[in-house]
Structure 1
């Protein structure tokens, strides 16, 4: 039956029972093992959904040993731990077809080893305890040689300015990455300075999410200088919740005026003082910043202008991989 169903076309399996409410029947270990055996010699299935399975390593061995068409594998939420992570890493050393791997919240000790050769990777909340941020060194080395990765999510990594410095060393020489997600880390003005220095040299990176860090006015000034730099390719930037006051936000506003390629900017959660409230409406009314491409909107009370939050933000994922391996824009997500 499977051979009949799989013959002649490519498709992605979707088994959402594992992510829906508990009353929906979930896949068990034996179910997933049987499914993987069916897929072992299939050349049509290019994507596989997340599976809740303690025998995930056995299943992935079955898939990788006999299936050379799998492009996307999403294991987020499965607690495969260090042992499972090492097994998957070993298998990936021999696999040359997988282009997307999602391993969010899998309780892995180190997920940087999975990055090579993938178009997108999700690394949120790793179990890393090193104060030296060795993961950033390895990730930087990967970015130096990797030309296929276009989207990298490093949210909630506990990244400090030291980690940012290491990461930007690889980003300076990277010519493929277009989306860099650095949300919810511990980056301050010095980390923003390293990032800004890299943006002056990198002509590929288009989207940076720095929300929920602490770059403050000085960090915003560094980013503003980079955005205004000739040839800067940045198109979308989020600095929400970064303790930025009027000085830093005004410098960003001037950078938006100077760089017409920057079309999206998100600033909510900072100190939106009166000077900022006055300059933002002029950016919107002049057409330089479209209302749907920022997360604030002006309103007036008793002759004073204020800014209200608009529930818009950077998309979670901008690029995805089609079944033929071609990068295509992902569907827009309303919020983060």
Structure 2
């Protein structure tokens, strides 16, 4: 290659690098999930967060980031004023790493979505995050799913309940796999009498029974804020389903989506829920698979679907008939199609709000 050609090639490469750097500075969304960044990559990411002034969404799910990487990223967010949504899901940062994010929440006033699900955080971190959210007014959604809790006292739930009494900005709270029992649910319900902001409460995969749902039923008679309630994989049984159906049939007109999947509910409780939908026009999404379907249950939900009261994309069952008998088949819909799905809470119309509850809907950040 002649000298002029080499010079031209070098200039062209330099121009591309300049354009790339400009593009990086303008980047608003960065998805690096399921890679192997490790703590070394976290150091580079921390530097990027300190220098970038346009990034709104950062997804670092499952990147083998540990405690030291968590410290670097969390400290980088102390001065960051642009990032809105951060996902650290699946990185085993532990309780110590989670504490750096708790400290960050005391300083950062921009972040409005934080996902620390499946990060092996513990009691100390959960209490610290709850304390930070007593003052933080920017966070609207937080995922604290599957912590490592070596206690039966439910002190973390008590602290989260106290936080809900004081916090007026949190819209979405995920507490899946917290070993929560009826005592903890009662504390949460007491707090939600004073909370007027929470719209999505995820209590899936806990140890809640019908005795605990009694408090939830009483809350729903009064609460006019909650729109999405996930009780998937608890054990509320028929009595719990009846407590919910009484509140939904006679009092509550704000709840739009309810999941009672795998709760050991039989026909009596399921039919009660279907009857509640006949009088409650606001409850548009209900998920019931994994319970004990009898003929009355199949007929009740088949009737709801045939009359148009319950749309197929708003439930996880579909009726079919064999030899004159009606059965229910499972659909691949659900309040959570996979573990880390979060619906949008910025929908402005009723149609958009319902669409955001459907599992096919994706948040604007995803």
Q: TM-score if structure 2 supplies the norm length?
A: 0.81
2:355 counterpart of 1:318: no
Distance in 1 (CA, whole Å) between partners of 2:318 and 2:70 is 49
| Shift in Å, 1:243 | 0.8
Q: Which has the higher helix share?
A: 2
CA distances 1:292-311 after superposition (whole Å, capped 9, x unpaired) = 21111112222211111122
Query: Does residue 154 of structure 2 align to residue 137 of structure 1?
Result: no
2:5 alignment counterpart: none
SS in 1 for 2:250: coil
Q: Do the aligned partners of residues 83 and 162 (structure 1) sit closer, same or farther apart at CA in structure 2, a change above 3 Å counting?
A: same
**Given the alignment of the two structures, is residue 269 of structure 1 paired with residue 290 of structure 2, yes or no?**
yes
Instruction: Look up the match of 1:92.
Output: 105
Between 75-84 and 57-66, report the one with greater CA deviation. Answer: 57-66
* Counterpart-to-counterpart distance in 2, 1:161 and 1:256: 26
Relative to structure 1, the CA distance from residue 58 to residue 138 in structure 2 (aligned partners, 3 Å threshold; closer, same or farther) is: closer
Q: Tell me, which stretches of 5 or more residues in structure 1 are unaligned? A: 21-25
Q: Which has the higher contact order (CA 8 A, sep 6+)?
A: 1
Q: Which has the larger radius of gyration?
A: 2
Match in the other structure for 2:83: 70
User: CA-to-partner distance for each residue in 1:186-223, whole Å, 9 max, x for gaps?
Assistant: 11001111111111111111111111111111101100
Q: Does 1:150 align with 2:175?
A: no
- Confirm or deny that 1:114 pairs with 2:129: yes
Counterpart of 1:224 (choices 227, 245, 250) is 245
Match of 1:15 among 32, 41, 52: 32
Alignment partner of 1:48 out of 53, 58, 64 = 58
Q: 1:27 to 1:160 in 2, by over 3 A?
A: same
Instruction: Return the alpha-carbon distance in structure 1 between the equivalents of residues 271 and 45 of structure 2.
Output: 56
Contact kept in structure 1, 2:241 and 2:269, CA below 8 Å: yes
Q: Does 1:30 align with 2:45?
A: no
1:13 is paired with a residue whose SS is: strand
Contact 1:37–1:62 (8 Å) recurs in 2: no
Q: 1:37 to 1:150 in 2, by over 3 A?
A: same
Whole-angstrom distance in 2 between the partners of 1:235 and 1:321:
15
Superposed CA RMSD: 2.5
Aligned length: 323
How far off is 1:52 after superposition? 3.3
Query: What residue is the counterpart of 1:257 in the other structure?
Result: 278
Instruction: Tell me if 1:166 matches 2:183.
Output: no
Cα 1:134–1:239 change in 2 (3 A) is: same
Please give the per-residue CA displacement for 1:70-101, whole angstroms capped at 9, x wherever unaligned.
Answer: 22221111222122222222232122222111
Distance in 1 between residues matched to 2:357 and 2:58, nearest whole Å: 18
What residue is the counterpart of 2:146 in the other structure?
125
Partner of 1:182: 203
Residues 1:222 and 1:231: Cα distance change in structure 2 (over 3 Å): closer
Deviates more, 1:189-198 or 1:48-57: 48-57
Cα contact 1:173–1:202 (8 A) shared by 2:
no
Does structure 1 retain, via aligned residues, the 8 Å contact 2:230–2:258? yes
Q: Secondary structure at the match of 1:319?
A: coil
Superposed, which structure 2 residues align to 1:199-238 within 5 Å? 199-238=220-259
In structure 2, stretches of 5+ residues that fail to align are 1-17, 362-366
Q: After TM superposition, give the deviation of residue 321 of structure 1 in Å.
A: 7.3
Partner SS, residue 83 of structure 1: helix
TM-score (normalizing by structure 1): 0.88
